[in-house]
Each structure stands twice: as C-alpha cells, then as structure tokens.
Amino acid sequence: MKLTAEEFNKYPALVLALALPVGLVLLMSIGQEVGIDLQHRLVSPNLLHPMGTDHLGRDLLVRLFMSFYQTVLPLWICVVVSSVFGTSLALFVLVLQSDYFRKVGTRIEWIVDFFDLIFGSVPVGVIVFLWSLYHEEAGIVTLMESLSFIVLIRTYSYVKNLYHCDHHQGFWIAHQSVGGSLLKRIWKYGICTYWKHRLTNLCLFHLQMVVIIESSLSYLGFGIQEPSASFGNILSSHLGVYLKGHYFVIMFTTGFIVYASIFPYLVRYLLLQNSRSRNNLY
Amino acid sequence: MIDGYPITIFILLWSAIVSVVWTFVCYSLRCRQRMIKEKEVSLLIMPSLVIGPFLLLVSYHFLSVNLILPISMTSNPLSIFLYCFIPSMVLSFSSGVFLRIKGNIVNEYLFWKRKPFCQVILSFGLSPEKNLRKLVAWKSYAEAWGQALPWFFGELIVVEGLFNAPGLGYQIWQHAKKQNFTDLFESVLWLFMIYAVLFYLIDNISRKIGRRLETYS
C-alpha cells in the first residue's frame, strides 16, 4: 500500500497513530537499556524519561514498548496464523465430506466439533486462565498455546457456519449442477466475496481479544510476569502507588492497552479508506 | 463473613436491571431520530483493566471516594447490593453489552419497520413505534446478552479483583494464587452453573421470540 501525500494530508492523525510503533522500534534500536535504578524510582515525566519511571526506576516508555513487541506482537502473529489454519481446516473438512473421503471427513468433523462444543460455550478468558493455572508456569508459550487453539476452533466454527448459511443459494447450486468443485465454489463465491470481510472482522476481534486477555491474565498474576514486560503486570505492580498521586503510570499503561487493542482496527480503517479513494478515481 | 455468591449475583442483577432501562431509553431516543442508518454492530470493546483503574483514580482523587470495597464485613445486604453497582457498570461497559443493545435496536427497528404490518399501522394513522417497542426491545436485549455473556463472565474475575469485591471471581483468583484446588474447583463449578443458567434463560427467551416472529414473516 503506497501512501500518497494527498492521503497523508487527509488522515494525518491516523497515519501518526500507525507510525507510533515504528517510531518506538527506532527508539529501542538506539539501545536503551532497561536497568533497575532505585534512586530514580517513580520519577515524573521529563525529557530523559518521557513517561517517567516505574517502581524500580526503569524507563516506563521503554517498558511499555517492550510489552508491545515482546508480548503483543508474538500473540498477534499467533492469532493470524491460527486464523489461517482454522479457515484451512474448515475448508479441508468440507471438501473431504463432499468427496470419496466422506467417512474420514465426518470423523475429523466430529472431533473438531467436540472441542468446539466445549471451548465455544465457555468464556475464553476463563479457559485461558484455567489453562495457565494447569501448566503452573508463567510465560508467553502457555498463552500462545491456549489462545491459538481457541482462535483456530472459533475460526473453524465461523467458516463452517458461513458455508451452511450460503450453500443453499441459487448460484451455489447452479455451479454445483454444472459440475463445479466445492473448493472452487467456496473460493469464488465465499472467500473472494463477503466472507473476506467477515473473516477479517473476526480476525480483528481476535487480535483485540488476545491483548485484553493477556493484560488481564498478567494483572491477575498468571500470565507473563516480572521481569518480562506486560501491560497487566505493570498495572498490578503500581496499584498501591497511583492512589498516592503517581497516576502517570496508570494513565500511560491504560493508554497503551487501549492503543494496542484498537491498533488492528486503525489499520483496517486506513486500508478501507485507501481502497475507497482508489475506487472513487475509477 | 461475606459469602462469594451474593456479590456476584448482585453484580449480575444490577447489570440486568440497568441494561433493561438502557434498552428502553435507547429505543425512545432512536425512534425520535429522523434518519437512522443501518450499521454493523461494532465489536470494539474497552477492557475493564482500562475502565476500572481510571474510575478508581478519578473517584479517589476528585471525589474522595474509595471504590475498593468501601463496606465492612458486617454490612447489611442493602449496602452490599448498592456497592455492587459500580463493579457491575464497569463489567457491563467492558463486555460491550450497552453498545450491542444500542446497535441491535437500530438494526431491528429498521428491519421491522419495513414489514407490511407496520405499513398497515401507519396507514391507520397509528404509531408503529409503540407497537414495535416490545418486539424490538426484548429481541435486542436478548441478542446483546447472548453475544456479551461469555465476555461478561470472562471479565468478572478481573473486575472483582480490581474492586476487591469478594464474589465468585475474586474467590477463584485467590484460590488459584494459593493453589487451593479443592475450593477453586467448587468456586469454578458455581460460576459455571450460574453461567449455564443464564445461557439457558437467554436461549429460551430468544427461541420464544423467534417462534413468535415466524408468525409475522
């Protein structure tokens, strides 16, 4: 996607908001160390520490950015990969059922539907919480395991529902009657049309969901813990402090949580605006 | 000793009551707008980890009110019930139930207003808004709660932890920290039972509404 000068002038705030992580990557690449400095704990924002310091004297901006790229980014990559796998699994099961491997397809569908029944009806936050508790270890790997599995199951279920809503439509049946393959039908009339929009919305919701679940879990003490950086553990370690007036930690941390959770929607909004402005040219 | 179940049930009760009021307020406000556009219900939600600390900060510094369990262990049920209002509002906002109710009302109103029976009502000079009120309101309410319920229960543990409200979610958190698996299992089981009952209730309401709506179409 190329951003022209005209488009930048139209949406400067949006572009700046998207450029913020890039700017923070450059900031990190300068080589700022996140060392403990107890003499400068809970310092107010200044030129040296734009967002102040935390309870151990570590620069808060750097800590928050470390949370973003050490925790949020890997989870987002996990969600996108799981969404692709979930969609592929649904297509695989559907195609298998329509051909000679009907029994195999049905058995695979029973197994996945069984997991869907359990994990689809239980709140996601509770499942992730219990999974982390069961593994008895804090870290991103446990989170990635549980969240990728849940996203895979939910995407699979969503694609199957889309297929079951659409496959009775006239043009689908017409395509089938002239001997078209199911995979081609799903691709041409499903994924390349409005399924793309629906699946993108679902993926964006999952991207937002993992940020919130990860922050909540680390706040409760079960997700990513110190010294690893996470929005939740930064908030929980400062709970006793903000009531005494050091509220900038809460403000900046909650601001980052909000930013991280709406970032995918900002990207989508900009992409949609870009495609609409290009369509208007024609 | 404050038991866990009443606080969780009070939080749910407050959310249910306020969302009913919100449903009818939304309906009245939306009907007065001349141009209503059908739009996709936004799935964008604000986490309780953002709303909760912000509310605690503002209330403590500007209103001198401490929202972290400002009741004693021997408080009467009424004061406990009133206290549960703030955590329930945070939970309702973070689960997105208010936003979903608002979006569903707009979409349902536009959908049913186009139906022939509404045109007949208009031709008699009557107001279709009054006739559509119960239909649109309860359908939107049930649908919004059906969508938001899993998220609601997922955030319950965080909200009760934030406000130190000793409900089922708080007990689950404390038992999990201490690795007290027997009590944890009991608390989780109670939470799942409440969730299952609410899920069944909402599902039943939706089915009954659905059956009646089939006669209209």
Q: ipTM score here?
A: 0.80
Q: Give the C-alpha separation, A222 to A80, whole Å.
A: 24
Total residue length of chain A: 282
- A239 has a pLDDT exceeding 50: yes
Per the CB < 8 Å rule, is A208 touching B44?
yes
What sections of chain B are H helices per DSSP? 4-32, 48-62, 77-83, 85-95, 97-113, 116-123, 128-162, 168-178, 181-216
Percent of chain A residues past pLDDT 90, beyond the cut: 5
> By the 8 A CB rule, do A208 and A265 touch?
yes
pLDDT by residue for chain B (217 residues), tens digit each?
346 678 888 899 999 999 999 998 888 887 666 545 555 555 556 788 888 888 888 888 778 777 776 555 567 778 888 888 988 999 998 888 888 888 888 888 888 888 888 788 878 888 777 777 878 888 888 888 888 888 888 888 889 888 888 888 888 888 888 888 888 888 888 888 888 888 888 888 888 877 776 666 5
Nearest-Cα distance to chain A for B80, in Å, is 23
- Average pLDDT across chain A, whole number: 77
Residue type, A8: F
> By the 8 A CB rule, do A116 and A128 touch?
no
Rg of chain B, C-alpha, whole Å:
20
Q: SS3 of A62, please?
A: helix
Nearest residue of B to residue A238, measured between CA atoms? B53
Per the CB < 8 Å rule, is B50 touching A258?
yes
Burial of A2 (0-12, 13-18, 19+ CB in 10 A): exposed
Token pair, residue A138, equals 């804090």
Q: Residue A119 is inside which H or E element, if any? A: helix A102-121
Q: Does B50 touch chain A (CB under 8 A)?
A: yes
Return left, alpha or beta for A245; rule: phi > 0 is left, psi -120 to 50 is alpha, else beta: left
Q: Give the C-alpha separation, A213 to B56, whole Å.
A: 21
- A117 has a pLDDT exceeding 90: no
Q: Which residues lie across from A53 on neighbouring strands?
A: A59
Residues of A in contact with B150 (CB under 8 A): 121-124
> By the 8 A CB rule, do A83 and A155 touch?
yes
Q: Give the C-alpha separation, B13 to B125, whole Å.
A: 39
Nearest residue of B to residue A136, measured between CA atoms? B179
More confident residue, A110 or A99: A110
Predicted confidence at residue B206, as pLDDT, reads 81
Residue A200: alpha-carbon gap to chain centroid? 11
Q: CB-CB: which of B46, B60, B153 is closest to A123? A: B153
Q: Give the C-alpha separation, B204 to B208, whole Å.
A: 6
Q: Give the C-alpha separation, A150 to B84, whole Å.
A: 32
Q: SS3 of A53, please?
A: strand
> By the 8 A CB rule, do A254 and A6 touch?
no
Residues of A in contact with B195 (CB under 8 A): 123
Residue type, B197: V
**Could you tell me the pLDDT band of residue A21, with boundaries at 50, 70 and 90?**
low
Q: Give the C-alpha separation, B184 to B168, whole Å.
A: 10
Q: Give the C-alpha separation, B177 to B174, whole Å.
A: 5
**Could you tell me the pLDDT band of residue A79, with boundaries at 50, 70 and 90?**
very high
Per the CB < 8 Å rule, is A257 touching B49?
yes
Return left, alpha or beta for A221; rule: phi > 0 is left, psi -120 to 50 is alpha, else beta: left
